[in-house]
């Protein structure tokens, strides 16, 4: 690798390939290595001893702490060198010792992280994971391949998600939760395997949900978990909630869409 000075904040001991595209405002800490197919947007800071490789695109104003590995090939024996990608959005905080792999040709070839996420130490994002916006991943969260995490999710420390699991918006996992099934929006879960405990009512209040919208979420919780209904019956009951709670129509539609995409083989956390 050949060091470049396209970014004025590159430490003299960092190795940045001449083909890498770094905005002039990017800073790179000591002994970090940046590969030729990496692009980094304005205002992003990269700490010491990071390795950023592969076809990796990083947006603006991210804070990437020391000892991270971003853009390495997937831990997938089927991978044969295809030009898959890792795409990271804007204003994310990525703490120490995280590993984010590129995608795989078995999916859409991209591992993607959105904007404004708070990702703590030792988090692993396997190939083809999709992470939305405004999430919090506590220390040692581990996602298998093809896991999808929607907006405003909070994952407690040592949460583990099996491959292909979907985690709905505004949901919450307790420490050491193990997800083998899809976690619907708004649901709080705990256990190994995880079981639903309640809905994330406090989180919804903090995000400005009105009492009417929270009432609708309570009714969805009752249909899914308190009335001994099948999943199909619960979906039918949830669909009627817009009549009583018209303000919550987007929340109801989000839940119904999530449940419709859940495969019978995997099911939801119950």
Catalytic residue (choose from 71, 145, 156, 168): 145
Tell me if residue 128 is catalytic: yes
One of 71, 89, 103, 128 is an active-site residue; which one?
A: 128
The answer to whether 101 touches 75, Cβ cutoff 8 Å, is yes
Active site residue 228: no
Q: Which of 55, 124, 127, 245 is catalytic?
A: 127
Cα of first residue to Cα of last residue in the chain, in angstroms, is: 51
- For this structure, is 106 an active site residue? no
Catalytic machinery residues:
127-128, 145
């Amino acid at each position: 690798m050949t060091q470049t000075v396209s970014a004025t904040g590159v430490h003299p001991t960092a190795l940045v390939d001449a083909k890498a595209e770094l905005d002039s405002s990017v800073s790179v800490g000591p002994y970090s290595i940046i590969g030729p197919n990496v692009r980094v947007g304005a205002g992003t800071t990269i700490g010491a001893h990071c390795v950023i490789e592969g076809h990796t695109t990083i947006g603006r104003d991210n804070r990437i702490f020391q000892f991270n590995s971003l853009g390495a090939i997937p831990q997938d024996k089927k991978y044969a060198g295809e030009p898959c990608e890792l795409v990271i959005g804007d204003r994310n905080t990525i703490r120490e010792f995280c590993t984010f792999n590129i995608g795989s040709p078995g999916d859409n070839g991209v591992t993607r992280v959105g904007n404004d996420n708070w990702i703590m130490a030792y988090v692993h994002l396997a190939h083809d994971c999709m992470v939305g916006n405004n999430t919090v991943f506590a220390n040692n969260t581990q996602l298998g391949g093809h896991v999808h995490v929607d907006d405003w999710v909070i994952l407690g420390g040592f949460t583990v998600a099996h491959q292909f699991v979907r985690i709905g918006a505004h949901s919450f996992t307790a420490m050491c939760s193990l997800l083998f099934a899809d976690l619907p929006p708004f649901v709080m879960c705990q256990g190994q395997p995880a079981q639903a405990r309640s809905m994330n009512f406090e989180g919804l209040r903090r995000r400005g949900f009105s009492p009417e919208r929270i009432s609708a979420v309570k009714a969805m919780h009752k249909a899914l978990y308190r009335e001994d209904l099948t999943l199909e019956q619960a979906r039918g009951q949830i669909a009627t909630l817009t009549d009583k709670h018209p303000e919550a129509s987007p929340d109801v539609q989000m839940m119904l869409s999530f449940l419709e995409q859940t495969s019978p083989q995997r099911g939801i956390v119950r």
